[in-house]
Chains A and B, each alone.
Chain A
Amino acid sequence: MEVLSDHNWVLTVGTFLPLVGVLIMLFIPKADEALSKAVAIGTAAATLAVGVFTMVQFNYDKAGEMQFVAQAEWISVIKSSYFIGLDGISLPLYFLSMVITLLVMIYSWNHVPSPGNAKAFYILMLVLQTGMAGTFIARDLVLFFVFFELVLLPMYFMIGVWGGENRQYASLKFFLYTMFGSALMLVAFLALFFKTGAESFAIPFLIENGGAIAKNTQIWIFAGMFVGFAVKVPMFPFHTWLPDAHTQAPTQGSVILAAILLKLGTYGFVRIAIPILPEAAKEWAPWIGLLAVIGIIYGALGCLAQTDMKRLIAFSSVAHMGYVMLGISTLTSFGMNAAMFGMVAHGLITGMLFFVAGSVKERYHTLEIKRLSGMLVQMPKLGWILGFCAMASLGLPGLAGFWGEFPAILSAYQPAPGLNVTVFRVYMVVAAIGTVLAAGYLLWLYQRTAFGEPTEEFAAGHGHDEDIHDVNKFEWIAWTPLLIAIVVFGVYPQLMFQVLDPAVGVTLKAFGG
């Protein structure tokens, strides 16, 4: 693959700059919180700048090909090399991770959750940033795996240290669960490596030779990857870590978790599992689709049963990632595009929802839906933002959510050749019903929390007045970009589709997609 740009350093810089920031921060006394915050935010901003530069330099006419490719010797013993690149699929997520990190940091300026220690908190976020960005650019399985796991640890500590009452449980569950998944994933990677002649871990190489593996073997390897990625997504039976993790995690954790971490799984499917093992993918697609639609309905039901706002949002993630996986499972570029768009849209919207939930928690010290009411009376702005996000999340056309949801449903009508059409059409209808349920639980949530009069305990003059204030400066700074993005992508989706479409087409060569 020829190098499309001489700026092949940008990715490396963009990925590891945060670590430099971490190094600097290590020398900042713990007491000097403001400074460490400033440094961290500065680093994130610089990283984002590099990201912007990458976007500018990105050659959109060749969005289908790998750009800024850099390759270097790494662990020659196991034939793994430091091989990175960026294409239309990676770009949006790569960039999103940078944006989200920066915004989260800004938000954290005066929202460092107890027990304080901003320095450590920010360091973790920077490390997280490296891991996330790295995962999206890695073109070598070992490298991918390293970054993939690198993400795990900071998140574990974020939940385990800064989380809610039940944090240890949640963090441990999250950690072990994902660990378990990655173990199988690693096995699958190794199997892949040996089955393709133990020559290289480079993804392009594997894509070329992966198809040659015997079908049964492919199915087994795919199974390994499937579990690894599905846990991360999370898909229906593997989702139970998510609500706990989200509920317990600090706001920042939830936002990053929802916005980026969940995408690592789906990204893995799109980038690794499906292109490398087309045969197996064909075999698995109906089952993935099945789990996806189960997830859609099931997540929605879960939401309807919730009494806790944050937990409800967490469950809605399950439903929305269901749409993403449904799109992927069709193995058509139509579906893939939808899925990729859905990933970004879900990142923006659900991230935003978690921000709001965090701010609500901070003001009311509770997320019990039945204790909340009349938010619009006390905090109109926050209330309307919540409404906006709810609308976006239930897939209202003109807002980003719709473009992940509707095309996914659409694509299910006509899956890739070789897949059972009837089955997928059934999926389509079920998914469509899911949209109604989505409207149901979100509006239900909104009606109960935002409308009506404030409940007794929080009504004016019951001692909560000083806590209950409307959106503040830092929140505005952190949220506005997301809100704008939701509208912009909703009104003009082409912005993203034009980047995704070619790349997806390349990814699906094996299916003639």
Chain B
Amino acid sequence: MLLNQFLMLGAVLFCIGVYGVIVRKNAVLVLMSIELILNSVNINLLAFSLRNGTPDGHTFALYVIAVAAAEVGVGLAMVLLMYRNRRSVGLDDLSEMKG
């Protein structure tokens, strides 16, 4: 069982996530893509952890999951707020930073 197969899987997921982040307009979907990215990271972490036989990877994977949970919570809350304010979750409707 190769180390690379996991890493590469991680890489593929990561890139798909990136693609999603860039392409998607709907906030919820963007958040999902971010989840993809995070998971790919987790897979890497665990793979290395197994390779080195140290538990650090696990620890941080856990942390990542926790952070992800928090992020999703806040993110969705923001989406809700946004939706409430402007009946839409299209990210390009967020034009505060537009020049």
Contacts and interface: CB of A to CB of B under 8 A. Distances in A.
Interface of A: 166-173
A153 to B, nearest CB: 15
Q: Would you list the 4 A-B pairs with minimal beta carbon distance, nearest first? A: A169-B99, A168-B99, A172-B99, A166-B99
Contacts of A166: 99
Interface of B: 97-99
Nearest to A167: B99
B22 to A, nearest CB: 15
B1 to A, nearest CB: 30
Contacts of B99: 166-173
Nearest to B95: A168
A173 B97 CA distance: 11
Given A168-B97, A169-B98, A173-B99, 9 more contacts: A166-B99, A167-B99, A168-B98, A168-B99, A169-B99, A170-B99, A171-B99, A172-B97, A172-B99
10 contacts: A166-B99, A167-B99, A168-B97, A168-B99, A169-B98, A170-B99, A171-B99, A172-B97, A172-B99, A173-B99
B92 to A, nearest CB: 15
Nearest to A165: B99
A173 B99 CA distance: 9
B34 to A, nearest CB: 20
A173 B98 CA distance: 11
Contacts of A173: 99
A178 to B, nearest CB: 16
Contacts of B97: 168, 172
A167 B99 CA distance: 7
Contacts of A170: 99
Nearest to A166: B99
Nearest to B96: A168
A274 B97 CA distance: 38
A166 B98 CA distance: 10
Nearest to A163: B99
A170 B97 CA distance: 11
B52 to A, nearest CB: 19
A170 B99 CA distance: 7
Nearest to B98: A168
Contacts of A167: 99
A167 B98 CA distance: 10
A171 B98 CA distance: 10
A172 B98 CA distance: 9
Contacts of A168: 97-99
A198 B53 CA distance: 26
Nearest to A172: B99
A168 B98 CA distance: 6
